[in-house]
Structure 1
Amino acid sequence: QTCQDRSKFGWSFFSDRRQTHSKKQYLDMAGDNRIELEKVLDHFKDDSLKYKAAVFLIENMPYQCGVVYEDTTRLYAYYRAVSSSDIDPWRLCDSISNADGQFNPERKRVQTDLTDITSSFLIEHINAMFKAWMTQPWRNKIDFDTFCNHILPYRLRDEPLIPWARTLYERYNPVLDSLRNSSDSTDMRAAATIMLRHLQKQNIVFTHAVPQGVNVGVKNVEWRIGDCKEFADILTWVLRSLAIPCGCDMMLVRGDNNVPHYWNYILDNDGQSWYGSIGYADTEYKAPDTYWNPKGKVWRECYALNSEIYHMLHAKTDAEFIHPSFRYPTKKDVTSLYANPKCISFDISADKLYRLPDDDEPVYLCMSSSDKWIPVDIVELKRDSNIIRIKNIEGDVVFRVATALGDRLNFIAPPFLVDRQSGRIHWYDVIPEETEQVCLLHKFNLRTEPFGQNMVGGIFEGSNNADFNQCDTLHQYFGYFLRIC
């Protein structure tokens, strides 16, 4: 069971979002937990704004859930040790595993927010977030929609839920005292910059030595350990506790690497986006169109469901024919912010397709990740002209289009490269019975990975004997670019 699985609610409810669901229907989905949600609504019945905020959270709650691990004592031991020691994190985590046994991430349970969240948690959270909003000097710069989408949400991902808003507010709000006495007191970007610099001065440990694929949640604000995703979450929790609209922007696959990448966005007083991260060297938030990393698609993580994508998918087909990463889309396409002015849209004609998708088949734009392809967008099939319309991408990245059955992709066209400057498309067609010699390099610059530098001077050996008692040097590596022909 994962947080992508909502089958316990009955797919019939979700299969047609074109109809308008009443508040009662959402409460009915909560089952025995309905009474907890009704307590929240009853608590705020005389405060129209807080009541609307509670409705916003409840209406989008069916798409939210968390993972609770049974052995949190052993899990937290890794983080506490790494945060308080100068010993190499890998050695430290290995010694903890050897001494106390290894943490088992499979021992977990999934808690669906709609059926498990408590009224006390929601009431406390909503009150704390409104207090932060109403006590900041920039409160009049934030409208209710911005507050709901970029400040209010009680969770970021699938972390275990513990109250955090009031605690973080009390801890970090004094850091902004100097701003409140300045002429920039109402400038949200200035406030966010102060907090960015404050957190960057703390001890931050970038490592994959701690258990991977595990979300320890808001406790990591204290430990500050992990990679770009954990760093994005830390800054989001702190800024939202201070009523600074923000969140996480991401690439499902980096354009120059085989992994996803996460960083933060903030909104300024005019609603414009700026990006930054506590893991970056930059101490200022910068304009998205100056972002240096090669990008294919950029998404903004949201609490609310992206109804446009949802309707487009579920009006066509059942959930089993939709790739899991887009089955319940809670993200928004912001590629145009980052790729401007080189944001490209174009059409793929039917003569480039292996086959035309069926009417009920969603089509995905994919990018490569090591030995597999990852869907990064939903694209439109124009049935009247039999063309596939690709919207809002940045070039200099290899793409491919596919349909899906569950998580299995079925490609319907060859890979192609879009030139970022001209928008010209280069197809990597397979020509039967024709061969040519090629040099295989690599998708991305090896200097982005630590093993590249460590391999300089390294020797590759081969032997006819398993014990290597006699061996020959096959290759010695003298630089970053290993060429295999």
Structure 2
Amino acid sequence: MDILRRTFRFFPACAFLVVLCLQSCRRDAALERALAFAGDNRRELEGVLLHYKDDSLKQAAARFLIANMPYHFYEEEFYALPGGGRYRPRLTDFPTEEACKAHLDSLARAGRMGERHRYKDIRTLDSAFLVRNIDLAFEAWRKPWARQVPFPVFCRYILPYRISREYPSGLRKEMMDRFIPLLDSSGVSSPLEACSLLNKRLATVMRYKKNSLPFYPTIEETYAWGGARCEGLCDLGLFVMRAAGIPVVMDRTLWTRMDWGHNWGAVWHEGRFHSFAPGEQLPGEYLPVLNSRGHLRPAKVYRSHFEPCPASGSGEVPDDGYGTWLKSPLLEDVSMEYLDRPVDVRVSTDRIREFAHASGQVYLCAYNYYKWEPVAVGCRTDTTCLFRQVGGDNIFIVADSPAAGQLRFLTAPFHADAHGHVRKFIPRPERTQAFTFPKRKRLLKRFYTLHYWDVEAAAFSPLEYSSTADSTQSYTNIPENALLWFTVPDRIVNQRVFFLENDSVITMNLIR
């Protein structure tokens, strides 16, 4: 009995050692896979490991970076010129945003086409770049506001040399020299305090600029130009934060109440993340903005990591091969950190038996810039599709992808209210209603068309207007219970879908 007691007394410690051993084996296997995938660049990466053979902590950091580099890439984008030349305008050559836009418009009129070449980090980044990045990250980690950050958090949110898919930047030392003295002189002692102070300074360094290049911006371009669209601002802002030893990560959403999407930041502090908008709202200020402005309320939010995340619920069914950013192993669903009233959306589809090769993997889609775009991945059981932790009061449609690369709609469009209750928009052509729509003030001379979603055709179909005036257009043939879309021919943003209820246009840009 005493022997058994002594054995069981050491069992928890033994179990812990076994877990550590298994984790170490997995890390070693990931590192070896990365080195094997590096091809001719393997020698450069092994040189980094050899460089730190006498510094176990820095070598562990190097192993972390190299093991996860196969998941990352960057792109060279430029205008192709006759004879094989390349041209990428320098934004600083233009005195104003308007001058930049005029030049870009002239390139488009001349038929200049953009080209894109993709490169894997693991096969292109050399030892000098990685060693310099690691040494600088450790230097920043010694600062008062960073020294209490645990090593795993340091590896995930300070050490990485990239934020998203931007071209690898060599500005880390320059950012440290410019911004760390501000933090040193202020006496800040935590990541949250440092992030708040530095974000105020970033507001004087960069701002939103719409007329930037039609390419993904580099850190250098955004810094020199003093601005970019949201993805460029986010990349630069978070790059500066990490250079200063502040643990930050990028969060993102695809809008469901307006077009395109959005990126912003979150800072790690005492085990929790606090959202902020780089160069704009401070930690603690941004979440109320998202929840108080109807058009900014997200349906889903995802966090982009440098290393793969544990498998989410979408892995419950086999993958169908459809390509979407939502399936990136680096993404973590953090919607619960942002949504004040998340709901599980369950919607039935009676058409599933009409289709051969129906998949158990399904996509919750929102109408975003002229097409239905997936915002969440869910699963189908028989005729019920389930999507968890979704922001309600949105218009969606459910699709699958039996042929990889194409979406096939399984339901009519529907409105999921704030409680998850579903109202499908199945038009009733035999019952019509009349309505007069206002035209946009800046587009009064354009030709307008009202469309309704034809469930059988799985497409928007136009309706004939009964009369048109300078500022309005009237219809008498609108099918009841239809999803509608009132558009001009120009491809402009935020021509939103809507429905009619109680003689009013109902869009999803209000808090209700």
- Answer whether TM exceeds 0.5 for this pair: yes
Q: Distance in 1 between matches of 2:63 and 2:416?
A: 43
Q: Distance in 1 between matches of 2:198 and 2:27?
A: 43
- Does residue 240 in structure 1 map to residue 242 in structure 2? yes
- Does residue 122 in structure 1 map to residue 124 in structure 2? no
Q: Report 1:264-343 matches (<5 A).
A: 264-278=265-279, 280=280, 282=281, 285-286=284-285, 288=287, 291=290, 292=293, 293-309=296-312, 312=315, 316-317=318-319, 321-340=321-340, 342-343=341-342
Deviation track 1:290-340 (CA, whole Å, cap 9, x = no partner) reads 523121111122222234159828x7246xx22242453422111111112
Q: Distance in 1 between matches of 2:107 and 2:406?
A: 41
Structure 1 residues 356 and 187, CA gap change in structure 2 (3 angstroms): farther
Partner of 1:38: 46
- Does residue 80 in structure 1 map to residue 72 in structure 2? no
Partner of 1:163: 170
Structure 1 residues 44 and 354, CA gap change in structure 2 (3 angstroms): farther
Partner of 2:231: 229
Structure 1 residues 149 and 264, CA gap change in structure 2 (3 angstroms): same
Match of 1:265, as an amino acid? A
Structure 1 residues 460 and 168, CA gap change in structure 2 (3 angstroms): closer
Unaligned runs of 5+ in 2: 1-25, 80-84, 449-466, 473-484, 488-499, 501-512
Partner of 1:424: 421
Q: Report 1:36-435 matches (<5 A).
A: 36-69=44-77, 74-77=87-90, 79-82=91-94, 85=95, 87=96, 89-95=97-103, 106-134=114-142, 136-180=143-187, 185-202=188-205, 204-207=207-210, 209-252=211-254, 254-278=255-279, 280=280, 282=281, 285-286=284-285, 288=287, 291=290, 292=293, 293-309=296-312, 312=315, 316-317=318-319, 321-340=321-340, 342-349=341-348, 351=350, 353=352, 361-382=360-381, 387-404=384-401, 405-420=403-418, 422-430=419-427, 434-435=430-431
Contact 1:251–1:297 (Cα < 8 Å) also in 2: yes
Structure 1 residues 331 and 81, CA gap change in structure 2 (3 angstroms): same
Unaligned runs of 5+ in 1: 1-17, 447-451, 463-472
- Does residue 436 in structure 1 map to residue 436 in structure 2? no
Match of 2:287, as an amino acid? P
Partner of 2:469: 475
Q: Distance in 2 between matches of 1:19 and 1:381?
A: 34
Match of 2:394, as an amino acid? V
Contact 1:75–1:103 (Cα < 8 Å) also in 2: no
Q: Distance in 1 between matches of 2:270 and 2:156?
A: 15
RMSD: 3.6
Match of 1:376, as an amino acid? V
Match of 2:362, as an amino acid? V
Partner of 2:12: none
Match of 2:412, as an amino acid? P
Structure 1 residues 289 and 344, CA gap change in structure 2 (3 angstroms): farther
Structure 1 residues 434 and 477, CA gap change in structure 2 (3 angstroms): closer
Offset of residue 238 of structure 1:
0.8
Deviation track 1:36-91 (CA, whole Å, cap 9, x = no partner) reads 111111222332222222222222211211112467995342x1034xx3x4x233
Q: Distance in 2 between matches of 1:193 and 1:105?
A: 41
Greater share of strand: 2
- Matched position secondary structure for 1:375: strand
Q: Give TM-score scaled by structure 1 length.
A: 0.76
Q: Give TM-score scaled by structure 2 length.
A: 0.73
Q: Distance in 2 between matches of 1:103 and 1:196?
A: 40
Structure 1 residues 344 and 214, CA gap change in structure 2 (3 angstroms): same
Deviation track 1:229-270 (CA, whole Å, cap 9, x = no partner) reads 111112111111111111222112x12212112222222234
Q: Distance in 2 between matches of 1:205 and 1:276?
A: 11
Contact 1:365–1:375 (Cα < 8 Å) also in 2: yes
Q: Distance in 2 between matches of 1:201 and 1:19?
A: 42
Structure 1 residues 438 and 400, CA gap change in structure 2 (3 angstroms): farther
Deviation track 1:170-229 (CA, whole Å, cap 9, x = no partner) reads 11111213322xxxx21222211111111112353522x232133233442232222111
Q: Distance in 2 between matches of 1:96 and 1:413?
A: 41
Q: Distance in 2 between matches of 1:194 and 1:112?
A: 35
Offset of residue 141 of structure 1:
3.1
User: What percent of counterpart residues are identical?
Assistant: 23
Contact 2:78–2:87 (Cα < 8 Å) also in 1: no
Structure 1 residues 216 and 343, CA gap change in structure 2 (3 angstroms): same
Q: Distance in 2 between matches of 1:376 and 1:100?
A: 31
Match of 1:424, as an amino acid? H
